[in-house]
């Protein structure tokens, strides 16, 4: 017992000394791998010649691939944050996810920016930082090719959070960083996480003495296509991976929840890793043929809920529609602002997204007038997003108060306008939620006896790339439903 107390005090002294030397670096390095030492290693070597390894003897197994790279940046050692964070997370997550990966540390100069080799970049720390224009361009391409960037505000440091968000917006200037909704797949990719235990001490109070507060998880992110490719935790998650509570932390997640969230992060990144490689291969189709029978414009509505998740998917749908219907019309896509008078130039509108949004009063007025004058709106919740679904139905009630959105029965002419659709296939997540469900499902709003709004709460997959965790119609049936809807709109 006496020896144990002495060892414990010595360990505490080492941690305290390390923290005092650099208050932005926490914890101790993970233990070194045990060295294989034979019993005879202390004796002089045997005389030559050395016996070569037999062919039947097994060679040392190859080193596992690195899943996440901790990036060295800024000045000093502050980039380390919690020294052993990634290693401890992988030690926890690997047996649960049945994976075998390692981690590494390198500077941006050393980093390959090839997501096939290094799928995840991880930044943590306390300081403000800036990337060069060359680094910004390389990271933009890295994300486009399927890489993921994760940021963690060590100790809940607001300077790091603000700096990370600023630099990510430079990389993806057209895509806002948003708070991820409760139904985001990250919160259910392995563990189902609805609430998280936080500590947010008052000024001068130690984090260890702060009360535990339970609230919804608060990751923020930026989407590239249907994938959240940039993820930020403003509450320190990394200390929890090493089961630490840093006394000077401003905002942190309790270790048990931190490890579960970290496991979900790794599961999400891995699930999208291979799929993301394919998304970049979807070409953008442009109809360059000379018009023979006029022009059909696929006008896509801009809004604040991630309005253009994947331009390649819409492009491929236009191509397939032209091939399937043998149309002589030239088909092209344009983006449209509902507040603009240009809206009334297009007889057909398309709308999709992932997140919550809200129309302005001008957008509501224009869209209501457009629909009542004979315009048509076709919408779907990308990936079956509950956040978009709630927002779309709420906003349509503001646009058309007194008009009810209801399910279109299978006898509706939309299911027979081009293809006869009696059954459709859904993604695995739909199958798990509704076993045996195979009926085509659309909702609509009728105005003066005609259907003017058609909506699918399930995602429509038009680029053959089924997204992990999505509530969606499978690709072939998605194309058929889409083509039927366009043909129905043009013929009515």
- CA 154, chain centre distance (Å): 21
Which of 70-74, 148-152, 297-301 tops mean pLDDT? 148-152
CB 470 within 8 A of CB 429: yes
430 contacts 467 by C-beta, under 8 angstroms: no
The domain locations on the chain are 63-279, 295-491
Would you say the CATH fold of 295-491 matches that of 63-279? yes
333: pLDDT confidence band, cut at 50, 70 and 90? confident
CB contact burial 93-130 (16+ within 10 A = b; e otherwise): bbeebeeebebeeeebeebebebeebbbbbbbbbbebe
The answer to whether 465 and 458 are in contact (CB under 8 A) is no
| Nearest partner of 65 among 124, 110, 115, judged by Cα | 115
Confidence of residue 297 (pLDDT cuts 50, 70, 90): confident
Higher pLDDT: 232 or 14? It is 232
Confidence of residue 198 (pLDDT cuts 50, 70, 90): very high
Structure confidence by residue, pLDDT tens digits, 250-265: 999 999 999 999 999 9
Mean pLDDT across 14-30: 56
Report the percentage of the chain scoring pLDDT > 90: 70
Q: Which of 54-58, 211-215, 438-442, 465-469 has the lowest mean pLDDT?
A: 54-58
- Report in angstroms the alpha-carbon separations of 116 from 109, 145, 274, 279: 18, 9, 9, 14
- Domain over 295-491 is classified CATH 3.40.50.12140: yes
pLDDT of residue 59: 55
Q: How confident is the model at residue 447 (pLDDT cuts 50, 70, 90)?
A: very high
Using alpha carbons, list the distances in angstroms from residue 342 to 313, 337, 348, 367, 469: 24, 8, 12, 11, 37
Residues with Cβ within 8 Å of residue 435, at least 6 apart in sequence: none
Q: What would the two tokens of residue 411 be?
A: 């006898």
Between CA 388 and CA 392 the distance in angstroms is 6
DSSP state of 224: E
Which tens digit of pLDDT belongs to each residue from 118-134?
Answer: 999 999 999 899 999 99
Q: pLDDT value at position 295?
A: 75
DSSP per residue, 94-152: HHHHT---EEEEEETTT----TTT--EEEEEESS-----HHHHHHHHHHHHTT-EEEEE
Return the pLDDT at 296: 80
Residue 279 binned pLDDT confidence (cut-offs 50, 70, 90): low
What is this structure's pTM? Answer: 0.83
Mean pLDDT lowest among 22-31, 91-100, 361-370, 481-490: 22-31
Q: Is the pLDDT of residue 289 over 60?
A: no
Give the distance, in angstroms, between the CA of residue 390 and the centroid of all CA atoms in the same chain.
20
Total number of residues shown for the chain: 492
Mean pLDDT to the nearest integer, 438-454: 96
pLDDT at 78: 86
Task: For residue 321, name the pLDDT band (cuts at 50, 70, 90).
Answer: confident
- Could you tell me which residues come within 8 angstroms of residue 68 by beta carbon, excluding any fewer than 6 positions away? 86, 90, 101, 103, 119, 120, 121, 122, 150, 266
User: Among residues of the chain, what percentage have pLDDT more than 70?
Assistant: 83
- Least trusted range by pLDDT, from 108-112, 312-316, 358-362: 312-316
Contact 383, 226 (CB under 8 A): yes
Lowest mean pLDDT among 58-67, 133-142, 401-410, 457-466: 58-67
By CB atoms closer than 10 A (0-12, 13-18, 19+), residue 474 is middle
Question: Which of 33-47, 268-282, 474-488 has the weakest average pLDDT?
Answer: 33-47
Would you say domain 63-279 falls under CATH 3.20.20.70?
A: no
How far is Cα 159 from Cα 199, in angstroms, rounded to an integer?
Answer: 18
Q: What are the pLDDT digits (tens) for 30-86?
A: 655 554 444 334 434 434 444 444 545 555 555 568 899 999 998 888 899 989 999
Give the pLDDT confidence score for residue 351 in this predicted structure. Answer: 97
- What is the spatial distance between Cα 248 and Cα 194, in angstroms, rounded to a whole number? 27
> What integer pLDDT is reported at residue 357 of this predicted model?
95
Strand 148-153: give its sheet, edge to edge: 102-107, 66-72, 120-125, 148-153, 227-233, 220-224, 178-179
Q: What number is the average pLDDT over the span 188-196? A: 96
The pLDDT of residue 3 is: 46
Cβ–Cβ under 8 Å, residues 241 and 254 = no
Angle in degrees, 0-180, between the axes of helices 133-144 and 158-171, rounded to the nearest 10: 70
Instruction: Kindly state the tokens that stand for 19.
Output: 């923290």
What does the mean pLDDT of the chain come to? 86
Predicted pLDDT at 99: 92
pLDDT number for residue 275: 67
């Amino acid at each position: 017992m006496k020896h144990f107390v002495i060892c414990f005090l010595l360990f505490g002294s080492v941690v305290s000394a390390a923290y005092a030397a650099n208050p932005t670096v926490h914890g101790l390095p993970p233990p070194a791998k045990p060295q294989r030492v034979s019993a005879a290693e202390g004796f002089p070597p045997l005389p030559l010649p050395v016996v070569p390894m037999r062919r039947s003897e097994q060679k040392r197994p190859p080193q596992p691939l690195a899943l996440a790279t901790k990036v060295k940046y800024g000045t000093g050692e502050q980039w380390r944050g919690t020294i052993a964070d990634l290693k401890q997370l992988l030690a926890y997550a690997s047996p649960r996810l049945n994976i075998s990966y390692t981690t590494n540390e390198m500077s941006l100069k050393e980093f390959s920016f090839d997501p096939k080799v290094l799928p995840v970049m991880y930044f943590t720390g306390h300081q403000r930082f800036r990337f060069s224009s060359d680094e910004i361009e390389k990271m933009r391409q890295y994300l486009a090719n399927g890489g993921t960037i994760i940021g963690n505000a060590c100790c809940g440091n607001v300077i790091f959070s603000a700096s990370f968000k600023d630099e990510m917006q430079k990389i993806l200037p057209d895509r806002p960083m948003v708070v991820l909704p409760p139904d985001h797949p990250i919160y259910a990719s392995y563990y189902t996480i609805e609430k998280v235990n936080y500590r947010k001490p008052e000024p001068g109070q130690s984090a260890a003495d702060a009360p535990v507060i339970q609230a919804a998880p608060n990751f923020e992110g930026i989407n590239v296509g249907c994938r959240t490719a940039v993820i930020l935790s403003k509450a320190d998650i990394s200390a929890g991976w090493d089961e630490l509570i840093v006394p000077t932390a401003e905002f942190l997640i309790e270790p048990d929840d931190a490890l579960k969230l970290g496991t979900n992060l790794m599961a999400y990144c891995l699930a999208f890793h291979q799929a993301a490689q394919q998304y970049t291969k979807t070409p953008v189709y442009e109809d360059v043929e000379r018009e023979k029978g006029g022009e059909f414009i696929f006008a896509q509505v801009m809004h604040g809920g991630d309005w253009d998740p994947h331009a390649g998917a819409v492009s491929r749908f236009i191509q397939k529609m032209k091939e399937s219907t043998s149309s002589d019309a030239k088909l092209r896509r344009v983006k449209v602002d509902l507040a603009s008078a240009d809206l009334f130039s297009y007889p057909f509108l398309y709308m999709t997204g992932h997140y919550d949004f809200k129309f302005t009063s001008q957008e509501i007025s224009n869209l209501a007038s457009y629909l009542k004058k004979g315009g048509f709106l076709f919408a779907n919740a990308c990936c079956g997003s509950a956040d978009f679904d709630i927002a779309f139905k709420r906003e349509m009630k503001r646009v058309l108060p007194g008009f009810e959105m209801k399910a279109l029965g299978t006898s509706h002419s939309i299911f027979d306008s081009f293809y006869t659709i009696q059954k459709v296939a859904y993604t695995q997540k739909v199958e798990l939620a509704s076993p045996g469900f195979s009926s085509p499902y659309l909702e609509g709003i009728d105005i003066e006896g005609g259907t003017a709004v058609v909506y699918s709460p399930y995602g429509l997959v038009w680029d053959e790339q089924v997204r992990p965790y999505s509530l969606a119609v499978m690709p072939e049936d998605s194309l058929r439903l889409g083509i039927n809807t366009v043909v129905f709109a043009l013929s009515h």
